[in-house]
Structure 1
Amino acid sequence: MSDNAVEMRDLVKTFGGGRRLFGRKASEVHAVKGISLDLQRGETLGIVGESGSGKSTLARMLVGLEAPTSGTMQIDGKPWAELAATGSRAFGRTIQYVFQDPVASLNPRKTIGEILDVPLRLLCGYDAGKRASRKKDLVDAVQMPLDTLERFPHEFSGGQAQRIAIARALAAEARILVLDEPVSALDVSVQAQVLLLLQQLRDDLGLSYLFISHDLAVVESISDRVAVMYLGEVVEVGPAARLFAAPQHDYTRALIASAPRLTSPDMA
């Protein structure tokens, strides 16, 4: 088995380019331009870049929400096209997505128990008894009380809702998680708690994370390696400590220099 949980080769995604009224061709937008990148098993790979750099488009392709225009992907050693062709069950049990807005991603009409029941029933095929036991394990894993299962999404804070969203992703037993700005909507103190939880889950369960964020401090704190995207391309990739200490590309240096600081460089 490959050491890589995800392999991307020459990945391209364009939008537009079709024919408009009166035969005019619409302009193409190149969101992702020939990316080749690997996510190793058990690794957290941070993806950073300004808005419009193609980070979220890349994430959406990985989880099947967008189809690539060209290029290839391997997910857990299987061709992306093969997984997509076998349907949502195989795909959902291989890779899962954690959204930026946890409350909006949870069905407001369902209890948390009902929300967690869906992947356990449809993706894992568990019977009622196994689902009940597994739901208790999931809320415990994300450090939430057992009565969470009987409550509705609007009853929780943003940090609690994100823990529930993480539990839902874990319900399918996928070992690859794509986390798209998972803490950007949370207060700083809550961000730290969720990041610590993610690190603990990764170590305990052997997960692999593709962690997307515009917050460089968050990416530096959680990532083993970091890939920097600019206008749809990866311009630099390397170990997090090295990349932040000695960036090689002009864009990476500018991105790091533009990040907010708690103190002025002139302050002692």
Structure 2
Amino acid sequence: MSNLIEVENLSKTFGHPARWFNPTAHQVRAVKNISLQLAAGETLAVVGESGSGKSTLARMLVGLETPSAGTIRLMGKTLAAHRSAGSFGRLIQYVFQDPLASLNPRKTIAATLAVPLKLLCGYSAAQRKKRMLELMEAVQMPADALSGYPHEFSGGQAQRLALARALAAEARILVLDEPVSALDVSVQAQVLLLLEQLKQQFDLAYLFISHDLAVVESIADRVAVMYQGELVECADSATLFGYPEHRYTQSLLASAPRL
């Protein structure tokens, strides 16, 4: 499989150095020299405790944060090259943890979906309408949901609509930042099953950010473990959960509640 994402020595430092005494007193190194790859059709999960740098890594991959050092390549090109060519939004999309907060409360679902369909895909009005209906069917939502506003939907329904918005750009990669953590357990199972179906239907690759190891074990092909901004272990799911090598990975797995 070819790599859709290639990250080399990626780092992110927040804050400005103090001008006296300790020159790094006001700096926080959130991500430290991360290198990883995401192959086509793969689900790569990134796990770790809160504050380990998972979301900062994800935000750099989609251009919401600027790296302090290192390189990010999407299908062999840098983010700047994709932006200049106008192909960035059609290659990678972000799905946020809180779907209700990530959808514009003043716009109907149809108006929200129309933006990527028009600006990124160049669809006509008739093409946009047809594509919206296809997306509603894909995420298992009724067609009349297009006329609704975000507050009219439950958390699970809103997350399905957030997935539809990401798919509207015809992206190859979805960065899923805790996509089911705000949902009830029964709804989580439905959304996870939907993610697997969408992956096959649209030939997607997922970067799955999560702290829920049970969810990760059920969905991930490979797992990358982050600790204090560093990548401490990366292996296929069966190997990592069965034979963890790093001491932090062993502690993380041991802390997960089991029946």
What SS is found at the alignment partner of 1:178?
A: strand
**Structure-2-length-normalised TM-score:** 0.96
SS in 2 for 1:90: coil
Paired position in structure 2 for 1:3: 2
Q: How high is the TM-score relative to the length of structure 1?
A: 0.93
Residue deviations 1:15-63 (CA, integer Å, cap 9, x gap)? 1134579xx8752111110011000110000000000100000000000
Which stretches in structure 2 are left out of the alignment for 5+ residues?
Answer: none
Mapped to 1, the partners of 2:129 and 2:175 lie a distance apart of 26
1:167 aligns with 2:199: no
2:40 maps to which residue?
41
Q: Which residue in the other structure is 1:196 paired with?
A: 193
1:94 is aligned to: 91
Q: In the alignment, which residue of structure 2 is the partner of 1:252?
A: 249
Identical pairs, percent: 67
Are 1:20 and 1:26, in contact at CA under 8 Å, matched by a contact in 2? no
- Output the amino acid matched with 2:115: V
Shift of 1:79: 1.5
Measure how far apart 1:205 and its partner are. Answer: 1.2
Preserved CA contact (<8 Å) 1:16 1:26: no
The residue number in structure 1 matching 2:50 is 51
Paired residues in the alignment total 259
How do 1:35-184 residues align onto structure 2 when only pairs under 5 Å count?
35-84=34-83, 86=84, 89-184=86-181
Q: Give the Cα–Cα distance (whole angstroms) in 2 for the partners of residues 20 and 179 of structure 1.
A: 39
CA-atom RMSD in angstroms: 1.8
- Extract unaligned runs of 5+ from structure 1: 264-268
Contact 2:6 2:74 in 1 (8 A): yes
Superposition deviation, residue 260 in structure 1: 1.6
Aligned partner letter, 2:215: V
What is residue 266 of structure 1 aligned with on the other side? none
